[in-house]
């Protein structure tokens, strides 16, 4: 005996498959652009995060040019909007690269100007870096964020919790938030974030170092092997431990070994170059709940300047000091010997420290900087 289903007269009908269609996706792009033209800058920016199609539509130069000219008319030129928006034809607006007018609008909203670039032209002779770097970074409304990508593709963003400055480096710390397990991280991206007064996500730009190419010199057969200057500093997040500058560092062709240009900075027998280290070598750390001190650790910052006094290699990394076996007998120091080493794709550093019992302090007695010959050849246009 079969059963027959019954339906109440007033019961709502179940939605059909046809009723679940996304009509927005079926709209012509001209209609959607007309709707998007009614949005403010913050809403338009957020719409671009919905999907690839909306990202493409929300990047339309004409939409952002309209917002940009309205903003300029409101803040700087109190003239009718129609007069301002007619200043450039439609073809001229669309010829600009995608996102050009959006960038111009955000620059205008944040009061962006390039005065800080002019301030950075003054170079500190001692460090070889811009003289007002710290002042510029402090005054610009920029904070630093790290974007962490895991192997699964998940991304997490962490805001800075502290920053301290030294002669050649800025040390930024991130100690809050739930960080993923370190062995699951596939990439780290550093962003300078500037807050925009809009109801939308923060605007950020990833740091991209400018590639500086030295002029070719076909007269000097050893061009790129001499005239280097080194500024080195050992510090922690509180104070400087040691700082020194060395000029006219060089290397001959026959001293290029294992693919490295070797710059001998400090030798044991050159006591007049030995650098005193003030205080203990330690690295304080802290979180919102705990704090401590890492013994025999600090931050090593160095800047290698080429003959033109342009930065050739900049480095700022935490390093550890380990006790080493002293092979040579030293009559100048009575104490243990320690070594500090670092190596990456841009170069390597080997340093030796001696503990002086009578003065109760360390001395930097040996220092060698190695520059990859591939980096030297690429920078100077050579083939050593």
* Count of CB atoms situated within 10 Å of the CB of 208: 6
Q: Are 168 and 127 in contact (CB under 8 A)?
A: yes
Q: Would you state the pLDDT for residue 207?
A: 52
Q: Would you state the pLDDT for residue 19?
A: 54
pLDDT tens for the chain, residues 1 to 384? 344 444 444 444 545 445 566 677 778 888 888 888 898 888 888 888 788 888 888 888 888 888 888 877 876 544 444 444 445 555 667 678 878 888 888 777 766 566 777 777 888 877 777 888 888 777 777 888 899 999 888 888 888 888 888 878 888 888 777 888 888 899 988 888 876 666 555 555 555 556 667 777 888 889 999 999 999 999 988 888 999 999 999 999 999 999 999 999 999 888 888 999 987 899 888 777 788 899 999 999 999 999 988 889 999 999 999 998 765 555 566 678 999 999 999 999 999 999 888 888 899 999 999 999 999 999 998 999
DSSP, collapsed to helix, strand or coil, labels residue 316 as strand
Enter the pTM of the model.
0.64
Residue carrying the six token digits 């040996």: 366
Strand ranges for the chain from DSSP E: 142-150, 155-159, 162-165, 170-173, 185-194, 203-206, 228-235, 240-249, 260-266, 275-277, 282-286, 291-295, 297-305, 311-320, 322-324, 337-344, 347-356, 361-372
**d(C-alpha 213, C-alpha 219), whole Å:** 18
Show the tokens assigned to 316: 């700022």
Q: Would you state the pLDDT for residue 114?
A: 65
The greatest distance separating any two alpha carbons of the chain, rounded to the nearest whole angstrom, comes to 111
**d(C-alpha 255, C-alpha 317), whole Å:** 27
Q: Would you state the pLDDT for residue 52?
A: 82
Q: Would you state the pLDDT for residue 223?
A: 92
Is residue 200 exposed (0-12), middle (13-18) or buried (19+ Cβ within 10 Å)? middle
Domains in the chain, ordered, with CATH? Answer: 21-109 (1.20.1280), 115-206 (no CATH), 228-380 (no CATH)
Q: Would you state the pLDDT for residue 326?
A: 62
Which of 161, 298, 196, 187 shows the shortest CA–CA distance to 242? 298
Q: Are 238 and 280 in contact (CB under 8 A)?
A: no
């Amino acid at each position: 005996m079969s059963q027959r289903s019954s339906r109440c007269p007033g019961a709502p009908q179940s939605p059909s498959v046809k009723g679940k269609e996304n009509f927005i996706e079926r709209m012509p792009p001209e209609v959607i652009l007309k709707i998007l033209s009614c949005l403010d800058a913050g809403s338009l920016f957020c719409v671009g995060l919905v999907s690839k199609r909306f990202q493409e539509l929300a990047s339309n130069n004409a939409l952002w040019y309209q917002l940009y000219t309205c903003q300029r008319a409101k803040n700087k030129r109190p003239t009718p909007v129609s007069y301002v928006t007619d200043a450039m034809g439609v073809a001229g607006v669309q010829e600009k690269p995608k996102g050009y007018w959006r960038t111009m609008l955000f620059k205008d909203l944040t009061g962006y100007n390039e005065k800080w670039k002019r301030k950075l032209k003054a170079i500190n002779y001692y460090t070889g870096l811009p003289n007002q770097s710290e002042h510029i970074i402090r005054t610009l409304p920029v904070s630093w964020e790290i974007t962490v990508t895991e192997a699964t593709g998940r991304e997490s963003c962490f805001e800075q919790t502290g920053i301290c400055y030294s002669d050649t480096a800025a040390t930024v710390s991130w100690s809050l938030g739930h960080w993923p397990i370190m062995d699951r991280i596939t990439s780290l991206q550093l962003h300078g974030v500037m807050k925009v007064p809009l109801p939308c996500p923060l605007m950020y730009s990833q740091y991209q170092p400018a590639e500086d190419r030295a002029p070719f010199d076909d007269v000097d057969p050893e061009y790129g092997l001499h005239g280097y200057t080194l500024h080195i500093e050992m510090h922690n997040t509180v104070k400087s431990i040691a700082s020194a500058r060395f000029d006219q560092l060089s290397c001959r062709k026959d001293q290029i070994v294992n693919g490295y240009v070797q710059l001998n900075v400090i030798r044991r027998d050159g006591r007049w170059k030995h650098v005193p280290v003030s205080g203990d070598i330690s690295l304080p750390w802290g979180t919102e709940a705990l704090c401590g001190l890492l013994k025999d650790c600090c931050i090593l910052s160095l800047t290698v300047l080429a003959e033109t006094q342009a930065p050739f290699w900049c480095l700022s990394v935490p390093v550890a000091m380990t006790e080493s076996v002293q092979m040579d007998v030293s009559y100048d120091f009575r104490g243990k010997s320690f070594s500090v080493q670092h190596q990456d794709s841009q170069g390597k550093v080997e340093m030796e420290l001696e503990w002086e019992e009578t003065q109760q302090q360390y001395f930097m007695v040996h220092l060698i900087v190695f520059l990859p010959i591939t980096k030297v050849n690429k920078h100077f246009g050579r083939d050593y």
